Structures are given as C-alpha cells and as structure tokens.
C-alpha cells in the first residue's frame, strides 16, 4: 500500500477532498527557490535602474565627445553586480522568507540600507583605485539614495508577485490539537497571506474543532507524521503540545530530520515570549531570556520626538479636513464637536481622549460594558466591524457611520499625542471598566503610551476575540522597536482605505 493510501485510510471520507486539494499545491521547497530568485532579480533591477537614472539625471561627461567614459562606468558597475548579490547573501536578505510566516520589505530595510551602502562604497573605491573611471561624489550620492528606494520598492513588488504564485504556498501540519494547536490553526486559516496551507492536524485525543477549523482534516495520531510528510510533500511541522510522550515526539522529529522538513516548536510559557528574546545555553541546555518589557530611556526620547513632529505635521496637513468634519458633526446632531472620555494610558494614568462625536448626546455605554464582559468570559468573536466599534442603531449620527468606518473620528487624538498623553503608535487607550477583565499579562500594555493605531488594529481581522486583541497589544510591547512603529505607521493608511482598521 502506498503512503498516500495509508494516510487516506486514517481519515474520514469528508476530508479526502481537502487532502486532494493539498496534494495539487506547489512541490516541496519551491517557496524558498521562488522567493530567492525573485529577490535577487529585484535587487539587480533596482540597482540597474538606480544606475541608469543617476546617469540620466546627472548628465554626460564634461566632454560630450567622450563616449568611452560611460562605457567604462557601465563595465565597472556590471562587473560588481555579482558582488552585490554576495553581499545580499552575507546580510541574509535571501533566506528569511522561507522560514518566517510574517516578513516584509519594511522588516529588512536595515539590511537593504547596509547592502546598498556597502555596494555603493565598493563601486566608488573600485573606480577610484583602478583609475578606470573618475567617480563624481554628487552622482554617487544620488545613486546611493535612488538605489535604497528602488531596491526596497522592487523587493516589495517581488514579494507581492511571489505571494500570488502557487509555488509560494508551504504545506504545513500541526502536531497537537489542544487549545494551542487550534489557536495556531485558526490564525493560519484566517491569514492566507502567510502562504501557509494547513494540510491537517495530528493528535491522539483532539478536542472538538469548530468554525473555520471544521474543514481542517484530522490526520490521525502523531505516529502518522512520516506518512503524512511523504504523501503530501509537507515542508513544515508545528509542534504544539501534543498528547504524545516527550520521548516519542523527539523520536519522530529525529526520524524526519533528513527529509528537509522545518520544525517549529511552540515554547512552554509561550504567552511570555515576544519577538525580542535572548537565546543562550548553559552546557548545551538552551535558555530563552526575556528582556525587560519597558522601553529604554533613549528609545522613549526618540519615540516622543517622532510623536511631536508627526502630530504637528498631521494637524497642519489635516486642518481643512478638521474644519469640514466639525461642520458636519454640528449639522447632523446638536451637541459638542468633540467627544471627551476618560481613558487609561502609560502606567494606567487617566487622561481625556478626544474624538469627533459620532453618536447622539446622552447615549450610555451599557451595551459596550456588557459586550466586554461577554467576550472576556466566553471568548466570543467580535462583531464584523471590530472590537471597539459596536453598532447602536439610531444612536449613531449620519456622519458618524463614515467617520467610524474610515477612522477619521480619531483625528482629534493627534492633539492628545501633541500633549504627550498618547503616541502615534501604541495599544489602544482602554476604559477603566475594561481593566476589570484583564488577565495579569495584559497589564504590560500600560508600560508604553497608548496610541492611535496599534498591532491589533493593523494586523487583526474581525474574527479576533477581545482577549486576542489584548494579547496583540502585549505582543507589541514585548517586541517594540522604532522599526515596528514605522512599519505600523506605513500600513495604517492601507487599513483605513480598506476599512479594516477598527477603533472605538
């Protein structure tokens, strides 16, 4: 009996169709090959375009009759292109997408900057030392700036094209169908942009699967893992606390180490582990170090400077929009233009958050209180318009609907940012009664200032529960960096335009 038939025998008939679809997806390890080739091509296209544009903008040599100089410059540049690719390999710019689920050009901007800087310096020194060409500093600076922008843009386009290819899809199975395994499965199903196709779950005693997980096949006990890997060209296995004994899980992993399969391990106490961890060993025993969650003093100063500059520019740039919205709010419903509400920010300090009023005066918050209590106690899914935005029928004004859907009702919070009560990026400022339902780890969100968009608003979907939204706030705190803030700021306009950003 073939491996395929062996696997089919241990699943119910209902899942066979799903498994057949998984079998038709890309072959093993095509994702890494596809992305590496696309990124190398993108780098070369960006560099060549920057070279051509800098030459066109800066002009021809002083002597118009000198036709040799441009050809020599082109020759030197062309000969250094393979070195650019080698530098990209040294900076790890071609081997990250295959292993990571969430990776973007913004994440690797530091690497792109280093690559272009080192490569430009290489071209400059080679030209100068060999005397083949006479590089002009102004043109080299122009090339350097153009190369950074064009290489980053070309990489973003390349990734977008790769994600549309069937070869980008990575076949994955989860070992363990408990709460953690099902949580991972749910997130993978909800985020197809990760390029991970969940073939199925392996477990001896799985829990009931509901919602979007009903169509995820149960492939049998963990011992079936080798058959599943061979039958469906599985490239990734996520170990999520299966019921299998520890020694048996180790035996399974060791038996498949020669099959080019990536194993991802969910660590114990994973709730405490963020993106910034310190991996070290004691006599071969791996330890995961958890750095302090609070932002360092220097980083806080830089973040505050960015807030002041960004909020000032934002208030000036949106002044006409401010005036128009204020007029619409007053026209639609009698009452103040701004809605003022006490929220909790850094270190749970209360402050008055400002928003454009979207509801009629006198509307109470009993619906929201009941909603928060229900979601935290029962784990209910949020409404389709987000955790913080509950439709209340006639209570919302005419302008309130589009203000909420576009998040323009939050523009006045730029004033809060300028005052130092909020930040441009951070966890959403919560209400005092919401804290009553927090788990201990959720209080970490008060280690940073509250913000306009946060990790949840930018990355989450409507299926997230209120508790999961709080977990993402904590993940933002644990993984905070200036690069993360910039990434979220860049992605926020896209979310607003697509009306996926959620606010209160």
Q: What was the pLDDT predicted at 110?
A: 79
Give domain limits for the chain: 3-25+169-266, 30-162, 297-497
Q: What was the pLDDT predicted at 487?
A: 77
Interval 184-213: pLDDT, tens: 888 888 777 778 888 888 888 766 655 556
Q: What was the pLDDT predicted at 456?
A: 61
Q: What was the pLDDT predicted at 420?
A: 92
Is the pLDDT at 22 greater than 70, yes or no? Answer: no
Q: Is 253 left (phi over 0), alpha (psi -120 to 50) or beta?
A: alpha
Q: Count H helices and E strands in the chain, helices first.
A: 17, 8
Q: Across residues 26-31, what is the average pLDDT?
A: 58
**CA atoms of 185 and 191, how far apart (whole Å):** 10
Q: Across residues 218-222, what is the average pLDDT?
A: 83
Q: Residue 90 in contact with residue 119, Cβ under 8 Å?
A: no
Is the pLDDT at 338 greater than 80, yes or no? Answer: yes
Is the pLDDT at 94 greater than 70, yes or no? Answer: yes
Q: Which of 35-39, 387-391, 411-415 has the highest mean pLDDT?
A: 411-415
Is the pLDDT at 250 greater than 70, yes or no? Answer: yes
Strand partners, 263: 237
Smallest CA-to-CA distance from 33 within 230, 168, 179 is with 168
User: What confidence category does residue 46 fall into, taking pLDDT thresholds of 50, 70 and 90?
Assistant: very high
Residues whose CB falls within 8 Å of the CB of residue 224, separated by 6 or more in sequence, listed in order:
6, 7, 10, 202
**CA atoms of 493 and 102, how far apart (whole Å):** 19
Residue position matching structure tokens 């030209």: 127
- For 252-261, 319-328, 336-345, 412-421, which range has the lowest pLDDT when averaged over its residues? 252-261
Q: What was the pLDDT predicted at 325?
A: 92
Q: Across residues 109-115, what is the average pLDDT?
A: 84
**CA atoms of 56 and 73, how far apart (whole Å):** 13
Q: What was the pLDDT predicted at 497?
A: 58
Residue position matching structure tokens 């006198």: 362
For residue 104, what is the DSSP state?
-
Q: Residue 172 in contact with residue 238, Cβ under 8 Å?
A: yes
Q: Which of 98-102, 129-133, 215-219, 298-302 has the highest mean pLDDT?
A: 298-302
- The residue with greater pLDDT, 103 or 478, is 478
Interval 445-472: pLDDT, tens: 898 899 887 666 666 544 556 777 788 8
Q: Residue 171 in contact with residue 22, Cβ under 8 Å?
A: yes
Q: Across residues 367-378, what is the average pLDDT?
A: 56
Q: Which of 89-103, 441-455, 460-474, 488-502 has the highest mean pLDDT?
A: 441-455
Three-state DSSP string of 328-370:
HHHHHCCCCCEEEEEEECHHHCEEEEEEECCECCCCCCHHHHH
* Residue 474, burial from CB neighbour count under 10 angstroms (0-12, 13-18, 19+): buried
Q: Residue 416 in contact with residue 351, Cβ under 8 Å?
A: yes
CATH fold for the domain made of 3-25+169-266: Rossmann fold (3.40.50)
Is the pLDDT at 145 greater than 80, yes or no? Answer: yes
Q: Which of 6-10, 24-28, 306-310, 373-377 has the highest mean pLDDT?
A: 306-310
Q: Residue 50 in contact with residue 147, Cβ under 8 Å?
A: yes
**CA atoms of 382 and 305, how far apart (whole Å):** 35
Strand partners, 236: 172, 262
Q: Across residues 266-292, what is the average pLDDT?
A: 70
Smallest CA-to-CA distance from 418 within 500, 313, 317 is with 313
Is the pLDDT at 249 greater than 70, yes or no? Answer: yes
Please give the mean pLDDT across all residues of the chain.
76
Q: Across residues 157-176, what is the average pLDDT?
A: 83
- The residue with greater pLDDT, 443 or 165, is 443
Is the pLDDT at 248 greater than 90, yes or no? Answer: no
- The residue with greater pLDDT, 9 or 227, is 227
- The residue with greater pLDDT, 294 or 250, is 250
Percent of the chain with pLDDT over 70: 70
- The residue with greater pLDDT, 291 or 464, is 291
* SS3 state at 35: helix
Cα dihedral: 326, 330, 331, 334 (round 10):
170
User: What confidence category does residue 305 fall into, taking pLDDT thresholds of 50, 70 and 90?
Assistant: very high
């Amino acid at each position: 009996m073939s491996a395929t038939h062996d696997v089919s025998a241990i699943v119910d008939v209902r899942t066979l169709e799903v498994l057949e679809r998984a079998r038709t997806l890309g072959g093993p390890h095509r994702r890494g090959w596809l992305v590496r080739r696309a990124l190398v091509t993108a780098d070369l296209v960006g560099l060549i375009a920057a070279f051509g544009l800098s030459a066109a903008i800066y002009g021809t040599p002083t002597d118009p009759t000198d036709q040799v100089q441009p050809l020599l410059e082109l020759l030197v540049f062309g000969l250094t292109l393979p070195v650019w690719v080698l530098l990209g390999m040294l900076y790890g710019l071609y081997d990250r997408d295959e292993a990571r689920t969430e990776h973007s050009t913004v994440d690797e901007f530091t690497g792109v900057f280093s690559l272009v800087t080192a490569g430009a310096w290489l071209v400059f020194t080679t030209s100068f030392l060999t005397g083949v060409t006479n590089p002009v500093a102004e043109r080299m600076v122009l090339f350097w700036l153009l190369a950074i922008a064009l290489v980053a843009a070309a990489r973003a386009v390349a990734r977008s094209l790769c994600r549309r290819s069937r070869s980008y899809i990575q076949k994955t199975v989860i070992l363990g169908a408990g709460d953690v395994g099902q949580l991972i499965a749910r997130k993978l199903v909800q985020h197809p942009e990760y390029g991970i196709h969940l073939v199925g779950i392996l477990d001896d005693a799985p829990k009931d699967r509901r919602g979007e997980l009903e169509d995820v096949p149960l492939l049998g006990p963990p011992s079936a893992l080798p058959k599943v890997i061979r039958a469906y060209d599985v490239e990734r296995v996520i170990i999520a606390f299966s019921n299998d004994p520890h020694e048996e899980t180790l035996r399974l992993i060791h038996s498949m180490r020669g099959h080019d399969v990536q194993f991802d391990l969910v660590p114990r106490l994973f709730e405490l582990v963020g993106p910034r961890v310190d991996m070290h060993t004691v006599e071969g025993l791996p330890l995961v170090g958890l750095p302090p969650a609070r932002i360092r003093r220097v980083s806080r100063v830089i973040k505050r400077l960015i807030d002041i500059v960004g909020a000032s520019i934002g208030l000036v740039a949106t002044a006409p929009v401010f005036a128009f919205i204020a007029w619409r709010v007053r026209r639609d419903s009698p009452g103040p233009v701004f809605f003022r509400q006490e929220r909790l920010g850094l270190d749970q300090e209360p402050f008055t958050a400002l928003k454009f009023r979207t509801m009629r005066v006198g509307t109470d918050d009993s619906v929201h209180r009941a909603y928060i209590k229900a979601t935290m106690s029962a784990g209910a899914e949020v409404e389709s318009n987000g955790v913080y935005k509950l439709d209340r029928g006639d209570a919302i004004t005419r302008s309130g609907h589009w203000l909420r859907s576009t998040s323009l009702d939050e523009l006045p919070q730029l004033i809060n940012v300028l005052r130092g009560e909020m930040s441009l990026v951070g966890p959403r400022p919560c209400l005092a009664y919401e804290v009553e339902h927090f788990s201990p780890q959720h209080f970490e969100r008060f280690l940073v200032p509250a913000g306009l968009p946060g990790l949840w608003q930018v990355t989450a979907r409507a299926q997230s529960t209120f508790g999961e939204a709080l977990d993402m706030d904590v993940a933002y705190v644990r993984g905070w960096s200036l690069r993360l803030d910039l990434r979220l700021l860049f992605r926020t306009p896209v979310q607003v335009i697509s009306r996926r950003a959620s606010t209160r």
